[in-house]
Chain A
């Protein structure tokens, strides 16, 4: 066993991984540089960005560290909650309330550092940059000012997120980053997600394979209860809980924001919902259900996260080293009944607003008013845009901000689209949460 890493890596440390790195296998690309070259790249040059230090993130960080990646950056804006401890295994009871990114990064560094036997010299060998919540918000919020150089420094990006919006944002950012003159600008994006016993992992090569936006219509539609049901004809315990949170909270508390992480607030909602349920003879309102509904809790377990995170890191390892073929491009797991999985190539969408570069054709009634068009865009499964602003090449149709423009364009909301634009006209849609604008070709039926 040759130790190529010199003094910092003890003998045998990479015995297992090196069986892969020392020789090509039957499904290895010709460009694979077996031996010292690939090891040097993996251990001394590769730089990887991990977005999310939660259920998947903890697993991803541990896997990457064991695999031999040494320059790992992690971003997470969240803090540790007691309900994370059943799966986010880098956190302990004493860490509740602290930043996930910081605690996770420190855990990995501490473990690896200890393992090297010399904490001081290791600090140099194992760089782990922590971006605190404030900075992430800055990156996340100011899309137009985003710093491409930040992303250009990484070889690849792994996402372990629970938010559709954040995924759309990083996806669009990496697609926009691709510069055909500069091959280095193409950053593979590996994305994982889980829900209960189900999960998926996928490899996105921006502009080459299908991107996150291409598959937006695969997402389950979130359950939404009509407001009239909540207000007038509750039937399910969920309806009573929605009544408490959507209608009663603002009525009683005014501007005070509900904190769904505060047990007192959940208790208040529970009591209000339970009392309404009692009034209507509806059974089943519990504290736990109340919390589940208002926080939109998705069941999460260690084992599913382990599978999906392992898959993500395995792809990262194969892509970074070229040691074996990688996933093309979607792995879906359903563990409810036996071990069922499906590996397939998700096809690029020709008219994808992010990687397709084409506008979306939309056929609407002449009578449809702007407000209804906005509602349609919000509801369309393949668009899902929140609080959009709309304009044509020549005029503003409706802008959310600043206030003066909002006021000036507000009357348009009730105007018919056929009065606002010609048949076949182009409408550009932008939203604060998306780093791209959507172009619509509107035709009238």
Chain B
């Protein structure tokens, strides 16, 4: 009573506001809950170039400007047409017609967030590719929407691999995009898999504590508050001792394996209850599988050890990531902080889920986990110090917290996916006919555009180009697309009839349409992936895991907005 009284007087006298976040934090609150201050800082220091100022391009930028991108340059040497004014929300409609597309769009975009720097560049990208190559490489990411193939190829070759290129193509309801990078390392993958509690390989303090509890004589209330990991560790150690017929510590290995053993083990837990309604024991029974789910190193993480140890021939990376992996590999081989299980474990992390328990018991368990994870962190840091890199504690903590969910992705170079190897495309046609047909049709349209057969494929076209599109017989266009697509495949390959009829028909219907809804859809999808690349959080699209030798992914995201699906090739 006294406590609550004093609390009341204490709290009612608080001078508000205290701890209220600043306006910037409040503005970004809903996204900070996803990528935190670290992700935000990365976003705010990123520099992006976007070419040209189409509806899709400005939609992508919108979703980067709103969350607070550092800098963007929008490059476009054209003037606003009536068509642009009709489909691009960031132009000033009718009033923008005839003015610079880049300048008008930048104005509209910057209105949304004065913390972002935006520059309109009215040069022709072809000129810039000749005269200002170095400048193009100063960007972190370059995004190109419906850019002519010949320009795109030069741009891609120039930027690879330092600057990440995002290629976006769309026509009517169909679209595809890809991100071109060599390797992308993700520490904060935001995996939904949580790290192991190591029930099967308990650390000394936990094991000792679990075995020390006088289960039969302790206070009945305390008994009902023992957290389930403690109950499981105790039950498992007792099971092991019985099986090995020892009274002293067991050899610390072995778990119930057969269905019968598991059933009996659960009954053992139930038998430990002293009252029928002890929820903590019920929880332990429900979590008993943790005794026979071995704490292992995920194969994807294991593969990274090999990836970085075998890369000694490569030039040393400026990144600390390989050093962190190397230290982790050493830790996995020998962790003196865990004498019973010195090898085969990732560093322990302190991420205890909620469980039936009293505050005291829960906090006690939390402290045990914390003490052990601190010890193991020290072991890790010792290994890391041999690597002669500077990694701050924030990075180390994030790395250790996510060591079970580390991800290193690989990407493809643009020339390798435009359109992709004949063999791979043939394979994809049989496994993903809809997606592959869409990709082939868009790639074929790009080729026709480059050959000037389909000059109106550019979405920057205005009404004058439209007459060309109308003059171009739709059936003839379909035939041209088919002929082009056939060259992408091994001789004699047939295109899947239904799928091809659909995709070629869709392109022939709207070869140069940058539809507002398709633009907005792509604007969201592409911005989302770019945010993942910049923040190095969450997992962007890729051509697979970097450690995998398989090359069976193009790493292209394909979109169909008639049936409304997305797919990855």
Contact = CB atoms under 8 A, between A and B. Distances in A.
B509 A83 contact: no
A16 B520 contact: no
B76 interface: no
B517 A314 contact: yes
Contact of A336 (B18, B517, B538): B538
A271 interface: yes
A301 B62 CA distance: 12
Interface in B52-93: 55, 59, 62-63, 66-68, 81-83, 85-87, 89, 92-93
Nearest to A289: B33
Contacts of A301: 30-31, 34, 63, 67, 528, 531
A66 B538 contact: no
Interface stretch (A70-78, A107-115, A206-214): A107-115
Interface stretch (B241-249, B312-320, B338-346, B557-565): B557-565
B516 A271 contact: no
B86 A14 contact: yes
B66 A12 contact: no
B89 A62 contact: yes
Contacts of A139: none
B21 A17 contact: no
B12 A252 contact: yes
A325 B467 CA distance: 27
Interface string B1-41: 00100011011101011111101011111111110000000
A331 B564 contact: yes
A25 B562 CA distance: 10
A116 B505 CA distance: 34
Contact of A264 (B17, B68, B462, B561): B17
B518 A314 contact: yes
Contact of B510 (A11, A20, A314): A20
A331 B83 CA distance: 30
Given A302-B527, A313-B520, A66 B16 contact: no
Contacts of A123: none
Nearest to A272: B11
A196 B34 contact: yes
Contacts of A281: 359, 363
Given A10-B94, A12-B86, A13-B85, A297 B30 contact: yes
Interface stretch (A229-237, A352-360, A395-403): A229-237
Nearest to A203: B564
Given A15-B462, A299-B33, A304 B515 contact: no
Contact of B357 (A11, A86, A235, A288): A235
A272 B7 contact: yes
B512 A1 contact: no
A330 to B, nearest CB: 9
Nearest to A114: B93
Interface string A369-391: 00000000000000000000000
Interface stretch (A140-148, A179-187, A337-345, A431-439): A337-345
A276 B3 CA distance: 10
A313 B179 CA distance: 27
A281 to B, nearest CB: 5
Contacts of A35: none
A235 B359 contact: yes
B562 A325 contact: yes
A353 B67 CA distance: 41
Contacts of B528: 197, 301, 303-304, 307, 335, 339
Contacts of A10: 82, 85-86, 94, 97
B498 to A, nearest CB: 9
B95 A266 contact: no
B86 A66 contact: yes
B514 interface: yes
A111 B89 contact: yes
A314 B32 CA distance: 30
Given A83-B29, A271-B11, A297-B30, A16 B516 contact: yes
Nearest to B82: A12
Among the interface residues A67, A310, A336, which one has the most CB atoms of the partner chain B within 10 A?
A310
Contact of B515 (A17, A85, A267): A17
Interface in B493-511: 501-502, 505-506, 509-511
Nearest to B357: A235
Instruction: Report the interface size class on chain B.
Output: 35 or more
B238 interface: no
B521 interface: yes
Contact of B27 (A19, A83, A300): A83
Contacts of A17: 86-87, 513, 515-516
Contact of B21 (A63, A67, A112, A288): A288
Given A16-B513, A339-B568, A343-B563, A306 B17 contact: no
A59 B68 CA distance: 18
A92 B111 contact: yes
B254 interface: no
B19 A267 contact: yes
B539 interface: yes
B190 A336 contact: yes
Contacts of B94: 10, 114-117
Contact of B63 (A112, A264, A302): A302
Nearest to A298: B30
Nearest to B54: A16
A15 B34 contact: no
Contacts of B511: 19
The listed residue with most B CB atoms (<10 A of its CB), out of A13, A82, A288, A318, is A13
B523 interface: yes
Contact of A327 (B97, B112, B538, B564): B564
Given A299-B31, A338-B539, A306 B521 contact: yes
Contacts of B510: 16, 19-20, 25
B459 interface: yes
B161 interface: no
Contact of A15 (B86, B362, B520): B86
A89 interface: yes
B31 to A, nearest CB: 5
A266 B363 contact: no
Most chain B CB atoms below 10 A, which of A9, A112, A339, A343: A339
B561 A314 contact: yes
B97 A302 contact: no
B327 to A, nearest CB: 26
Contacts of B32: 288
Contact of B525 (A252, A279, A303, A305): A303
B463 A83 contact: no
A16 B515 contact: yes
Contacts of A268: 11, 14, 16
A151 interface: no
A51 B515 CA distance: 23
B95 A282 contact: no
B474 interface: yes
Interface string A14-35: 1111011001111100000000
A309 interface: yes
Contacts of B12: 252
Given A288-B32, A306-B62, A308-B524, 13 more contacts: A1-B467, A19-B509, A19-B511, A27-B562, A92-B111, A286-B19, A288-B25, A301-B63, A301-B67, A302-B524, A324-B173, A327-B564, A341-B566
6 contacts: A1-B466, A15-B86, A115-B95, A236-B354, A271-B11, A306-B527
List of 5 A-B pairs having minimum Cβ-Cβ separation, nearest first: A115-B93, A12-B82, A306-B524, A26-B505, A307-B524
